[in-house]
Amino acid sequence: MVTHMKTTIDIANGLLAQARARAQAEETTLRALIEDGLRRVLAEDRSPQGEPFEMGTWGEPGDPWDEEAVQAMLRQREPLPPPWREDGD
């Protein structure tokens, strides 16, 4: 039964140097350091957070673009306060 697989990966020179230095400082192997990092990343919950975002639309698909109507709508909107977020924080 195979418990390990050899592979080749490209790692940025600076990152590899940092990893080697960390492995040496922790008296471990580069392999063990990389495996630990992979385990941590794979254990993270990277599912999307919050409610799904839906872009607001108007009109029907295929309707011609009405630039004049869009410009009129934009002129009616109040400018957002700095730093340009809805909540003003």
Residue of higher predicted confidence among 19 and 75: 19
- For residue 6, what are the CA distances in angstroms to 3, 33, 37? 10, 16, 17
What's residue 77's pLDDT? 75
Q: How far apart (Å, rounded) are the C-alpha atoms in residues 19 and 9?
A: 14
Q: How far apart (Å, rounded) are the C-alpha atoms in residues 77 and 74?
A: 5
Model confidence at 86: pLDDT above 60 = no
What's residue 22's pLDDT? 96
User: pLDDT tens-digit profile of 12-70?
Assistant: 999 999 999 999 999 999 999 999 999 999 998 777 777 777 777 766 777 777 778 77
